[in-house]
Amino acid sequence: MSSPTHAERTGSVNPALDPDKLEVAPGIAHETIEGWVPALATEEEIRVALEKAFDYRGDVTITLKDNSKIEGYIFDRVTGATLNSSFLRLLPKDSNQRIKISYADIAALAFSGRDPAAGKSWEAWVRKYWEKKTTGQGEASLQPDSLE
Amino acid sequence: MPVPISQMWTVATYVLKQKLQGRKRYPFVLMLEPLFRCNLACAGCGKIQYPAHILKRELTPEECFKAVDECGTPMVSIPGGEPLMHSQIDKIVEGLVARKKYIYLCTNALLLKEKLHLFKPSKYLTFSVHVDGEREHHDFSVCREGGFDLAIDGVREALKRGFRVTTNTTLFDGADPNSVRAFFDEMMELGVEGMMLSPGYSYDKAPDQKHFLGRARTRRLFRAILSNRKSTWRFNQSPLFLEFLMGKRTYACTPWGMPTYNVFGWQKPCYLLQDGYADTFQELLATTAWENYGTESGNPKCANCMVHSGYEASAVDHTFSGLRGLWATAKAALTTKYEDPDALVMLNESAKPVHAFNPLVQINTNESKLEETRA
């Protein structure tokens, strides 16, 4: 068993990409998938959706084939040749127990939690900074989200 | 002397022991992240983008000690999140000092002044204060006006009470080399033990995905900043790693050199990428497909990385890999000026910091777009 590499996950490596000539490193274009409920009809759909869930910055809700639901943050996954030999690991929202779930046991997936970084672009910060500077209203700051 | 002799001796004997034992992959510094919660919300940071229930979690002191014992490195860096927000950070530090580990507690120092009473000055404990440049540059970088003044207040108080203090500075695209050099002067006058530098890494999870330095620009920026050095500047880093940043050396990545342990476990493969987790350090070493990582692997996620967590361990390993490495290190330590007329020319080129661009001004020429580093 092995985890897919980043190179595998993002498609083939661009041969024209010479790291030593890079001026600005290309960042990641995050898809807006908050609220998405992917179809899990085929093995390929399951694998793609769970890889996106692993990369997602918020919580997901997984419905198992016994109809039970688990909401939490996916922090690990290991993919094997079959769905039975592939699994993810999740920290549930409401407990400290680490849960290991086989891909084969998953009936449905929902990107149910808020993406905590969405909407916090650098441009948004620059705009806020200059709005404060222009109007003279206090100090410009981005505040961490409330944990409540 | 920027680092105590005892620390240098401990690190040198540790690395030599690994070499003599023929260990192909050995850790150099443990990156211990006891929590992800932070009191800043920097746009370039990919360490704190988690749901609230994850941000509330903390490693217990016992979990920290187990990881430290398992890994066995002589140095432990405690980043985060903001470690001073950890409810038992004093217990964690106390336990690591008792184990004679050299600790770099990485803090934005917003809470340093009020939490200093929790700690005792020790040669084993250094506060590594995150300051990204002069006041305006730092405040803009960490998205908090007033952050610089609070951090410097904390540094002053820590120095006054006899603590070891270094700074750590992350540079993103748009950094002004002249300002960074002026910042070095300021920090040295303040009396910190040494300074650490790193180019920003393109974290997947960071809100900002547009201002990460590419390798070519990183080398020009660091060449402009670190050439023609003032004798007063002290850096708390491998001199060969600084030469790597300046483009004078090439190294392959050593992702296992600074392994990371946090509330999820041992992070694969390194401090920056999150490609899964192992439950033990041995499992991390044994199950990570190391050949898939590092710039030389062709992995696009590693393409721009020149960060200390991957390359400073490579530089240290080079130092202890033979007489050439030792000689190069000795030479770098003794001849620190790095005279470079071309780098001086770079300093004379204009550079407009990112925060000089006002998006509220409607008349926008091409030149007024987010300015690129001209170094």
- A24, A89, A146 ranked by CB distance to B173: nearest: A24
The residues with which B104 forms a beta bridge, in sequence order, are: B77, B126
For B279-304, write each residue's pLDDT tens digit.
Answer: 999 999 999 999 999 988 888 888 88
Look at the block and give the residue holding tokens 């694969």: B268
Task: Identify the helix (H) or strand (E) that includes residue B63.
Answer: helix B61-71
At B18, list the tokens: 């690994």
- How far apart, in Å, do the first and last CA atoms of chain A sit? 39
Structural contact between residues B41 and A121, judged by C-beta atoms closer than 8 angstroms:
no
Chain A residues 34-53 with CB within 8 Å of chain B: none
Question: What pLDDT score was predicted for residue A117?
Answer: 80
For B74-128, write each residue's pLDDT tens digit.
Answer: 999 999 899 999 999 999 999 999 999 999 999 999 999 999 999 999 999 999 9
B contacts of A77 (beta carbons < 8 Å): 276
Provide the pLDDT confidence category of residue A26 given band limits of 50, 70 and 90.
Answer: low
Q: Which of B34-38, B323-327, B350-354 has the lowest mean pLDDT?
A: B350-354
Burial (CB < 10 A; 0-12, 13-18, 19+), residue A59, is buried
Mean pLDDT of B339-360: 74
Query: B360, A134: Cβ pair inside 8 Å?
Result: yes
Three-state SS for B16-52 is HHHHHCCCCCCCCEEEECCCCCCCCCCCCCCCCCCCH
Query: B359, A94: Cβ pair inside 8 Å?
Result: no
Query: B355, A126: Cβ pair inside 8 Å?
Result: yes
Mean pLDDT of B162-183: 92
Concatenated DSSP letters of A56-81: -SS-EEEEETTS-EEEEEEEEEEB-S
B363 near A CB under 8 A: no
Residue environment code for A38-48, b if the CB has 16+ CB neighbours within 10 A, otherwise e: bebeeeeebbe
B contacts of A7 (beta carbons < 8 Å): 292, 297-301
- Give the SS3 label for residue B214: coil
For B311-321, write each residue's pLDDT tens digit.
Answer: 999 999 999 99
Mean pLDDT of B338-359: 76
Question: Is pLDDT of B251 > 50?
Answer: yes
Question: Is pLDDT of A68 > 90?
Answer: yes
What whole-number distance in Å separates Cα of residue B338 and Cα of residue B326?
A: 18
Which chain B residue is nearest to residue A94, measuring alpha carbons? Answer: B53
Structural contact between residues B203 and B46, judged by C-beta atoms closer than 8 angstroms:
yes
What Cα–Cα distance (Å) separates residue A3 from each residue in A49, A54, A61, A83, B279?
A: 15, 12, 22, 13, 15
Provide the pLDDT confidence category of residue A34 given band limits of 50, 70 and 90.
Answer: very high
Query: A122, B144: Cβ pair inside 8 Å?
Result: no
Question: What pLDDT score was predicted for residue A104?
Answer: 97
What whole-number distance in Å separates Cα of residue A127 and Cα of residue B187?
A: 30
A31 near B CB under 8 A: no
Order of strands, sheet of A60-64, starting from the edge strand that comes earlier in the sequence:
A99-102, A87-92, A69-78, A60-64, A106-110
Q: To the nearest whole angstrom, how far is the Cα of A120 from the nearest Cα of chain B?
A: 5
Average pLDDT, whole number, for chain A?
83
- B44, B49, B53 ranked by CB distance to A57: nearest: B49
Query: A147, B143: Cβ pair inside 8 Å?
Result: no
Question: Is pLDDT of A14 > 60?
Answer: no
B206 near A CB under 8 A: yes
What whole-number distance in Å separates Cα of residue B67 and Cα of residue B89?
A: 15
Concatenated DSSP letters of B243-260: HHHTTS------GGGS-E
Chain A residues 82-121 with CB within 8 Å of chain B: 89, 91, 93-94, 96, 113-114, 116-118, 120-121
Structural contact between residues B270 and B310, judged by C-beta atoms closer than 8 angstroms:
yes
Structural contact between residues A89 and A77, judged by C-beta atoms closer than 8 angstroms:
yes
Ramachandran area for residue A67 (φ above 0: left; ψ -120 to 50: alpha; else beta): left
Question: Is pLDDT of A25 > 90?
Answer: no
For A100-143, write each residue's pLDDT tens digit.
Answer: 999 999 999 999 999 988 877 777 778 878 888 788 777 788 88
What whole-number distance in Å separates Cα of residue B136 and Cα of residue B144?
A: 10
- Give the SS3 label for residue B177: helix
A contacts of B298 (beta carbons < 8 Å): 7, 13
B contacts of A3 (beta carbons < 8 Å): 268, 275-276, 289
For A64, phi then psi, to 5°, come to -85, 165
For B7-65, write each residue's pLDDT tens digit.
Answer: 999 999 999 999 999 999 999 999 999 999 999 988 777 778 899 999 999 999 999 99
Query: B53, A27: Cβ pair inside 8 Å?
Result: no
Question: What pLDDT score was predicted for residue B370?
Answer: 29
Chain B residues 104-163 with CB within 8 Å of chain A: 140, 143-146
- Torsion angle of alpha carbons B135, B136, B137, B140, nearest 10°? 120
Query: B143, A58: Cβ pair inside 8 Å?
Result: no
Which chain B residue is nearest to residue A119, measuring alpha carbons? Answer: B207
A136 near B CB under 8 A: no
Query: Using alpha carbons only, what angle is made at residue B331 by residues B325 and B337, rounded to the nearest 5 degrees?
Result: 135
At B43, list the tokens: 């746009």
What Cα–Cα distance (Å) separates residue B301 from each residue in A6, A70, A74, B83, B295?
A: 7, 31, 20, 27, 8
Question: Is pLDDT of B359 > 70?
Answer: no
- B39, B289, B304 ranked by CB distance to A5: nearest: B289
Task: Identify the helix (H) or strand (E) that includes residue B61.
Answer: helix B61-71
ipTM of the complex: 0.86
Concatenated DSSP letters of B313-359: HHHHHHHTTSHHHHHHHHHHHH------HHHHHHHHS----GGG--T
- Give the SS3 label for residue B286: helix
Percent of chain B with pLDDT over 90: 73
Mean pLDDT of B259-277: 96
Q: Give the DSSP letter of residue B370.
A: S
Considering only residues B261 and B360, tell me which one the structure prediction assigns the higher pLDDT. B261
Query: A120, B41: Cβ pair inside 8 Å?
Result: yes
B352 near A CB under 8 A: no
What Cα–Cα distance (Å) separates residue B18 from each residue in B14, B173, B311?
A: 6, 37, 18
Average pLDDT, whole number, for chain B?
89
B55 near A CB under 8 A: yes
B contacts of A142 (beta carbons < 8 Å): 40-43, 143-144
- A10, A22, A72 ranked by CB distance to B216: nearest: A22
